[in-house]
Amino acid sequence: MHDFAGKTAVITGAASGMGRSFANRFARAGMNVVMSDIEAPRLNEAVAEVAGHGTQVVGQVTDVADGAAIDELAERAFGEFSGVHVLCNNAGVGGMKGGPELINQANWEWVIGVNLWGVIHGHRAFLPRMIEQGEGHVINTASMAGHMPGHSAYTASKWAVVGITEGLYNQMHRDGTGIGVSCLCPGWIRTDIANSERNGPENAAPPALYEPTAGQEAAWQFVVDALEGGLEPDAVADMVHDAVLNDTFWIFTHLDFVAALADKHDSIMENRNPNPMGWLG
Ligand SMILES: NC(=O)c1ccc[n+]([C@@H]2O[C@H](COP(=O)([O-])OP(=O)(O)OC[C@H]3O[C@@H](n4cnc5c(N)ncnc54)[C@H](O)[C@@H]3O)[C@@H](O)[C@H]2O)c1
């Protein structure tokens, strides 16, 4: 896609972090923006900010895990604008803080509901009409966690997003649809993802009596510090904008993380066991 002005971007998880930066970036490029999020007050504030760029901006409270809510979002977006040209399936949660042995079924369902079903619903509700238009671009926010081992709902959801995004890319190109596809795999980005619990169901939390071990606390603090010292979300928004412009599939924010995948890929090519010390998970 080369012309952005007057076209429409739809972004999920747009009230905070990367989604909010994507909304600002596409509005600066002259696009109208449909911003959706599960958090109403923060969404309203973000809509007011993005509207400052002078294009048409609307907000819709949406739980991406709810297929009917995504259908409504698509109806509104296609109803109010001349089409949907950029779709960012971006809303995501990290899961509850707690050791893996305490991550209960409700936590798995919540994380997979938002991170994976959110993307699946986005494809289902938006793509047929985007294909009919013959022009557009889908950006799915996966993660470097989608390339690395880890026994968590987050890892499972992000591996799945990487897989279906590459599958979608193949399908869209083979069929000559005119729809570009990008898979965003961020490393550490300075957002509010460490506080994902704020949007989670109560039954996904660890038991009240749960006391994390010193090792678990240290691992958690490592993640919090890494996020705090991470890349600014606005820098990722520039990468996403350029990926749409240049029809780039992979968007990696941290090339040193990509280099760390070499040994894993070599172990597959050489049919040897993976190195269990190479990863946290
Ligand atoms: N921050 C990082 O380092 C990092 C790294 C890799 C991938 N990611 C991914 O980036 C995406 C954006 O997260 P972020 O880092 O900007 O975090 P963030 O918490 O700042 O933003 C995520 C947004 O998603 C919204 N959200 C949560 N549950 C939702 C639901 N059910 N329906 C709709 N919206 C919902 C939140 O309210 C929030 O506004 C996520 O998919 C996340 O997994 C983040």
Q: Which atom of ligand 1 is nearest to the CA of 113?
A: 31
Lowest mean pLDDT among 41-50, 75-84, 205-214: 205-214
Q: Tell me the domains of the chain and their CATH numbers.
A: 8-200+232-255 (3.40.50.720)
Q: Quote the pLDDT of residue 97.
A: 79
Q: Structure tokens of 122?
A: 């986005």
Angle at 197 between CA 160 and CA 239, to 5 degrees: 50
pLDDT category, 281, cuts 50, 70, 90? low
Local structure of residue 280 (DSSP, 8 states)? -
Give the H or E element holding residue 70.
helix 67-80
Rounded to an integer, the average pLDDT of 94-111 is 82
pLDDT in tens, 146-202: 999 988 899 999 999 999 999 999 999 999 999 999 999 999 999 999 999 999 998
Amino acid at 186: P
Q: Quote the pLDDT of residue 68.
A: 98
- DSSP assignment of 148-159: S--SSHHHHHHH
pLDDT category, 113, cuts 50, 70, 90? very high
User: Minimal CA–CA distance to 122: which of 99, 92, 97?
Assistant: 92
pLDDT in tens, 56-102: 999 999 999 999 999 999 999 999 998 999 999 999 999 987 766 66
pTM above 0.85, yes or no: yes
Contact 28, 52 (CB under 8 A): no
Q: Which of 97, 140, 188, 189 to mutate to test the pocket of ligand 1 (most atoms within 8 A of CB)?
A: 189
Residues lining ligand 1, Cβ inside 6 A: 12-13, 15-19, 37-39, 62-65, 90-93, 114, 141, 143, 186, 188-189, 191-193, 196, 199, 227, 230
- Ligand 1 centroid from CA 202, angstroms: 19
